[in-house]
Structure 1
């Protein structure tokens, strides 16, 4: 997607490095600062430089941990194939504390924090900014100031999430001497400080859509959401050190202290006060969103009826989605991990393929796909794919054998280069698709949870219903929305909201942190592992397993054949066609429409004239029903050209990958003993060694 902010060359020249420092921050000279901040437009150019850093900020630990480490999301390779699986799986063994992606995230967050502090100090000294504050209305000066505050707060949010209690400073660092007395700050102090700074800055920022501020910049709408997020995080369960002084803050604890790595799983005893703040500011988002809104209607014509998928199609059309509160903007032809890492896989080469290679880092547990989504849920087929792109304009069946591309198990389907309105084939990781980091449904479900947690069930149910409703057709509303929500209250309501977030946000890297904050990570890990074991045992014993929650069956084998869909129905477009709820396996179009949202791009057939039309799309039988390999139906299908294809059996052949390797660092014995989950990353060695003893390593990680 085209960036709306132009990155000026002199922006990079302005931020020259000061003497090397353990936080590895950078600072411009005072003369440069006066030049850069002569006008709000110049300050915005410097903010553009921060956004330029933002395109890769958090991508590395998001890739390693957040989008693969939950009870719905997983990695595609063998556990032993990648070092990143150790922290993802809660440290069954130790890693070098200078693990690259962790160290880079630490450094980049502090680089942005210091640059924001420099901007804030310089802007605060401007008479024009002071006059704008006095007038009390948003202006270009107060907007760019607020953007810097929001960027800093978001960086601290990430640092606390990944590292726990970290060094905190809200002033510009220009010399190494300023860091000599910096130790670790309590996350409570960090949350309170950044919430206060945002509360002051946000009222003087533009809402989304005002003054040409769209979701590729931090708006007042986004800033209110970050206040809500910080307060929500402050209220949640987190891993805390037992060798660190948290002052007067008292805690509610789950389980026992871990004496080996001196940590406990707790939340603040006054957590309800923070949940009330989260609710207040999330309400500000939904009541005054600017141009943002939850997409509840599909505006693409009578052949479309999936507002959930419509959100992601905006991204694939290289347009900013109206559901977005913030998208990190990418430019086509430059680095972009979307959908390379987090979309439908492709076996294509690095360039000039249809589409080019898509690795598929974010994968979906089969027990989640089969056991959590009811058949009527319109999100299921949009969320996960069962066919990959071959790289030569055709479908290829996903393989549960560990690996990448078409291997590695069920992959993400929210992004698919075959569904781009203008497919890009020149080179991999260059699609220009934005990273949607925060959208309205996310906020609404957080709002629902915060409301339910402090006893406002009416508000909680209203927003739960609004998000859930768009996932079902009109004829399914009574059963799956109205009756479902009316029947729950108390803890059941909180659990339902948590479950809805899992369904709504799968593959978007939200669920792992939800599990931590809700205090349910230990029990959800064990439940996931037990569920996967039951599935694999059923496949081994019976050749199939039916999930009791949904009644949907996964089998060892399915039957596939390539077809020319125009021979079946000349009007079919599998990339945009949904599966009708009442479609039966006996219907001729069933094998190509179940599941929906797959296929390949008609635009590519012009490029690949040598590919026969009957080698493009896969017809599939037995995906959700057991077909006896030795039975009559199997024989009939094979006589009709179908081939018996391995499906669940590949999980049997790689059993540990799908059972015992899941969260290897948190075995059942830990759960039985009430041990806390060890998810926090180590602080880099340079920070410790150069801190004059003020910063110590925690959570059992080495110090060097």
Structure 2
């Protein structure tokens, strides 16, 4: 938050000319285009106009995190029935939302950012000082910003219109969708061609609050994995480019680059995996760094506006307090009321995700919170495993004072890429091509080493990784590791899509929720799928003193149930010094009904399990998940070409 680029919303805007509805434009600037890019000071202000769109609501909460559910990691329980809001996106029923204004605004926000980026690209390339290091940096930033916006568009909407140049008078701006793989290839090529002209974060004052060279290198690898992976096609099936596009003959699906003096061309999925390997290795060779030994500190830094370079975060969106940024409002610890405002949490973490962590993994307690704040000094238990918020960010840590009436606009930055992501991308791509080699294993070990105390690393880092002997086992371990590392950071949805295991993970999650619930009620313990959870806590027992909660148990049933159990409000009463309060834990994951006449009790899946993924109905988990959002009726109404035919699954 040192530079706070989002503070300059439109301070200087590039002149935009009229175009179609999904490229709605601003009024022309009083500054000429040539003047803006005749000097680096004004050119920088122009590119900051692209960053400024991160500060609008379609990004600050919607696309960054709230719409990135429901997966096996992040999930929020929707209403009992579809209600035409963001909750229908959570339940994978977004196909019903073509009239939802938030979807229209998000589409607009992306395309306006892309058009501004294209203006900056053209201005920087044709500038009389195009070779100036500052101008090269601006060019690279503009390409990064454009690539990230198309990354969002392709993952939320599938195939989308692609614009490689800025809007101009007389230009045809109503165009059909372009297959996402052509877009990925074009964006990768742009970044490959421009990244060497960018600064590393420690080479300039703005650090990790501007897109920098290490982010560009990481983004190349990320886009390469998406280009190599799966995505929704127009016929509603999940395919790789190799399955249906002329990857061998069409140069628009290729990327040419030079690595260690050797020119290479990526066309096929395997070659894009190799591209990802090469650019992860390039970043490691140019700017390797140790991972921050304190996992929780990464996110605490964002709350206290500390932005270290050569650390874990490569780039984070810089927000302005009381203007931009909903971190700590819609994602983070729940704060009902405090001297620093209140939250309205709209990103929770699944119970199965909590239970998936190794008990010695320090990331679990840094990622989850079982408590919420009634006020600054009063913590309370959340009362259910289905309401677990993310502990990584907390508005009460803010070093500024937003005031007791504040809510949104915390100013807490949002991480878009961390170095651990680069290590795990390297491990994944290397395994995909060559199996679990020493390169792949060492990258995975580097991430796990931070997660575990030194006294258990031999077992839970070295032995754990070394025992992954097959490609499939290593891939499964990477899928798990990315969940444990990035929970609450909202990367999971897009990862599951490119791996084409979204449906599989939904079915696994629902089955595990049911089995945990059955075990909590001591049902079907003869079934080994249920029995494995027999010692998991059905209740949590806790004490409360001076506004702090102390738990007797956090995952398993205690050896001895407390003798005295009282309501939490009575814990302070005389004679209750040794008493505990009790709250449902895995009992929240199953429900029962008692027949009013016979008294017979019947059990069933919890509402949480039924509702969270109800838009996906394939019990096998094999078919495509309906994750693609509709293009809004407003946008379609102004277009000759755009519709939603084929993309929206029933």
TM-score norm. by structure 1 comes to 0.78
Quote the offset at 1:308 in angstroms.
1.0
Contact 2:82 2:88 in 1 (8 A): no
Contact 1:3 1:330 in 2 (8 A): no
With 658-667 and 524-533 compared, the bigger mean Cα shift is at 658-667
Contact 1:167 1:184 in 2 (8 A): yes
Question: CA–CA distance in 1 between the matches of 2:378 and 2:51?
Answer: 37
What's the counterpart of residue 46 of structure 1? 46
1:465 alignment partner, SS class? helix
Runs of 5+ unmatched residues, structure 1: 133-138, 253-267, 298-306, 402-407, 564-613
CA deviations on 1:130-165 (whole Å, 9 max, x unpaired) are: x44xxxxxx011111111111111111111111111
Quote the offset at 1:14 in angstroms.
4.7
1:325 to 292, 297, 314: 314
Question: CA–CA distance in 1 between the matches of 2:172 and 2:278?
Answer: 37
What's the counterpart of residue 136 of structure 1? none
Question: CA–CA distance in 2 between the matches of 1:543 and 1:492?
Answer: 30
Question: CA–CA distance in 1 between the matches of 2:303 and 2:532?
Answer: 31
What's the counterpart of residue 208 of structure 2? 215
Assess, with a 3 A threshold, how the Cα gap between structure 1 residues 552 and 296 changes in structure 2: closer, same or farther.
farther
Superposition map of 1:444-593 within 5 A: 444-455=423-434, 457-489=437-469, 490-541=471-522, 553-563=535-545
1:311 to 298, 308, 311: 298
Quote the offset at 1:417 in angstroms.
3.0
CA deviations on 1:154-179 (whole Å, 9 max, x unpaired) are: 11111111111111111111236421
2:92 to 81, 90, 94: 90
Quote the offset at 1:548 in angstroms.
8.2
What's the counterpart of residue 254 of structure 2? none
Assess, with a 3 A threshold, how the Cα gap between structure 1 residues 559 and 81 changes in structure 2: closer, same or farther.
farther
Quote the offset at 1:7 in angstroms.
4.7
What's the counterpart of residue 365 of structure 2? 381
Question: CA–CA distance in 1 between the matches of 2:524 and 2:648?
Answer: 44
2:32 alignment partner, SS class? helix
2:418 to 439, 449, 452: 439
Corresponding position: 1:107 with 2:108? yes
Quote the offset at 1:100 in angstroms.
2.4
What's the counterpart of residue 178 of structure 1? 172
Quote the offset at 1:354 in angstroms.
4.1
Corresponding position: 1:699 with 2:639? no
Contact 1:374 1:550 in 2 (8 A): no
Assess, with a 3 A threshold, how the Cα gap between structure 1 residues 660 and 76 changes in structure 2: closer, same or farther.
closer
Question: CA–CA distance in 1 between the matches of 2:65 and 2:382?
Answer: 21
What's the counterpart of residue 278 of structure 2? 280
Runs of 5+ unmatched residues, structure 2: 246-265, 593-604
Assess, with a 3 A threshold, how the Cα gap between structure 1 residues 419 and 446 changes in structure 2: closer, same or farther.
same
1:478 alignment partner, SS class? helix
Question: CA–CA distance in 2 between the matches of 1:319 and 1:691?
Answer: 45
1:344 alignment partner, SS class? coil
Q: CA RMSD in A?
A: 3.3
Assess, with a 3 A threshold, how the Cα gap between structure 1 residues 9 and 454 changes in structure 2: closer, same or farther.
closer
What's the counterpart of residue 356 of structure 1? 341
2:416 alignment partner, SS class? strand
Quote the offset at 1:465 in angstroms.
0.3
CA deviations on 1:502-526 (whole Å, 9 max, x unpaired) are: 1111111011211111121121111
Question: CA–CA distance in 1 between the matches of 2:20 and 2:617?
Answer: 42
Assess, with a 3 A threshold, how the Cα gap between structure 1 residues 77 and 683 changes in structure 2: closer, same or farther.
closer
Contact 2:325 2:412 in 1 (8 A): yes
Contact 1:387 1:398 in 2 (8 A): yes
Quote the offset at 1:223 in angstroms.
1.1
How many pairs does the alignment contain? Answer: 600
Superposition map of 1:53-72 within 5 A: 53-56=53-56, 58=59, 59-66=61-68, 68-72=69-73
Contact 1:343 1:412 in 2 (8 A): yes
Corresponding position: 1:682 with 2:614? no
Assess, with a 3 A threshold, how the Cα gap between structure 1 residues 362 and 559 changes in structure 2: closer, same or farther.
same
Contact 1:295 1:310 in 2 (8 A): no
CA deviations on 1:623-678 (whole Å, 9 max, x unpaired) are: 3332599875869996713223344444445953332223112224463xx42222
2:390 to 386, 398, 412: 412
Contact 1:355 1:389 in 2 (8 A): no
Assess, with a 3 A threshold, how the Cα gap between structure 1 residues 498 and 286 changes in structure 2: closer, same or farther.
same
Assess, with a 3 A threshold, how the Cα gap between structure 1 residues 186 and 20 changes in structure 2: closer, same or farther.
closer
CA deviations on 1:247-302 (whole Å, 9 max, x unpaired) are: 995359xxxxxxxxxxxxxxx9931111111111122222223xx734343xxxxx
Quote the offset at 1:362 in angstroms.
1.6
Question: CA–CA distance in 1 between the matches of 2:242 and 2:433?
Answer: 20
CA deviations on 1:541-584 (whole Å, 9 max, x unpaired) are: 36999998997954343323322xxxxxxxxxxxxxxxxxxxxx
Contact 2:540 2:584 in 1 (8 A): yes
1:343 to 332, 346, 358: 332
What's the counterpart of residue 578 of structure 2? 640
Contact 2:277 2:430 in 1 (8 A): yes
Quote the offset at 1:392 in angstroms.
4.2
Contact 2:292 2:298 in 1 (8 A): no
Question: CA–CA distance in 1 between the matches of 2:634 and 2:296?
Answer: 45
